[in-house]
Amino acid sequence: MRVLQNWKNAICGTAATVLTFAVGAAWGQVPTPPAAQAQSGPRIVFTLDFPSSSPEHYVLEVATSGEAVYRSMGKLSPDAEGDPFETRFIVSPAVTAKMFRLAGQAKHFEKPMAYNKGNLAFTGNKTLSYQEDGRVSAQTYNYSALEPVQDLTRILQNMALTLESGRRLTYYHSYQKLALDEEIRRLEEMLKSQSASEPGAIAPILRSIADDKSVIHIVRQRAERILAMAGAATDR
């Protein structure tokens, strides 16, 4: 009986690993197996739990090198079940430097930073943590009055919006090409209004769409324009 249970556990673990790799590979970015993940060097970890939003939960980790990983449990449609998603990417040097500068100004989240006065709208439980040499300092908040925390939260949430859009574009490109127009138009508008950021994080799917002659011309044009934004951000 114990042998049978161990066999079942092994099969389930293998299936979960294959699923995670398949999702990451959709952008041409295969995740590193958990056992091989490097945890050295300072990193900022941002977690959002917001039951009434999509995704309801995500984690975004950024190292000082700019290497980043994003994991979420979101739905690709209102009727779908939440699926695990993971992708790895590189944050632009300027944004990486700004993030760690803001973390330093916020004392690396060593002291309480939640603002609890008045009746504040709930926008999700957010946790910022700073990890270095095995030490971790973290604070959870709905809203913070500290400007560095506000700025850092905005950067990370805007980045997550781009990554989730990239996830949907990957799905639509494979299964619902007619849905690409609305999604990529929304992404372009968010990037122009600076409510989304780091388009370079989803460059592989944008390039795939731009090069696909079976996709309508206006969608391919938008993909090229967003790729140009990503190049301009990288050059700064």
Query: What is the pTM for the complete model shown?
Result: 0.81
State the chain's maximal CA–CA distance in angstroms.
61
pLDDT tens-place string over residues 139-197: 999 999 999 999 999 999 999 999 999 999 999 999 999 999 999 999 999 999 999 99
Any idea what the Cα angle at residue 86 is, between residues 17 and 156, rounded to 5°?
155
Half-sphere exposure of 88 (CA within 13 A, CB side): 16
79 vs 88: which has the higher pLDDT? 88
Buried-exposed string 3-31: b where 16+ CB fall within 10 A, e elsewhere: eeeeeeeeeeeeeeeeebeebbebbebbb
Q: Is the pLDDT of residue 234 over 60?
A: no
d(CA 177, CA 209): 10
Residue 127 scores a pLDDT above 50: yes
Looking at per-residue confidence, does 205 or 82 come out higher?
A: 205
